[in-house]
A = this chain, B = another copy of it.
Amino acid sequence: MAKPLRRGNPASKKPARRIIGIDPGSLVTGWGIIESRGSSLVHVGHGTIASVSADRQEPADRLSFIYQGIQAAIKSYRPDGLSLERIFFARNAQSALKLGQARGVALLAAAHAGIPVHEYTASEIKVAVVGYGQATKDQVQKMVTSLLGVGETMASDASDALAAAICHLHRQRFQSLAGMELEWTASLRRRRWSAAAVKRLVGRV
């Protein structure tokens, strides 16, 4: 696991945004931290929380272990937000219920740390990471390790968590660029540029 980096990048005027991605699960919960610096995404750390063990037979103890693990990662790396996959389907009610329980304690850990939660569908995450909404789990993992330049093999729970974090930072950057474009367009129009001239200029940038 990478050492925590100091926050903020003196070379960039924009504040660094650090996001923790979570892939909750009743057996294994993955987490991963990404920081946005200038135009690049930097891998900060990742790991898994294996909640099932002989000395944790009770569901409540397992959930408590997941909560502690996420809380510890948030305390160590101090992310500005938490990103995770929005779930629509499940194999059956039992698996949805167990996933919901693990998800509930992850959301609670975010609320207790006072950081906002961002949710994205599996397809939004795949588009952000691989560029294709129907990408396989394996393609996502390869793209995550390649994007971040992380040579080591990692559990899919951790790479899925990193993918959720990448998705939030990508979309946020896109939204901020789109916002800048809108502002610029409005400002040129106020200066009585014609719509066609604005489009030509903005389109060229």
Which residues of A are at the interface with B, using a C-beta cutoff of 8 A? 58-61, 63-64, 67, 87-90, 93-94, 96-105, 107-108, 110-112, 116-117
Contacts and interface: CB of A to CB of B under 8 A. Distances in A.
Contact of A104 (B88, B101, B117): B101
Give this chain's copy count: 2
A93 B88 contact: yes
Contacts of A60: 107-108, 110-111, 117
Nearest to A61: B111
A117 B58 contact: yes
Contacts of A103: 97, 100-101, 104
Contacts of A90: 93, 96-97
Contacts of A98: 100
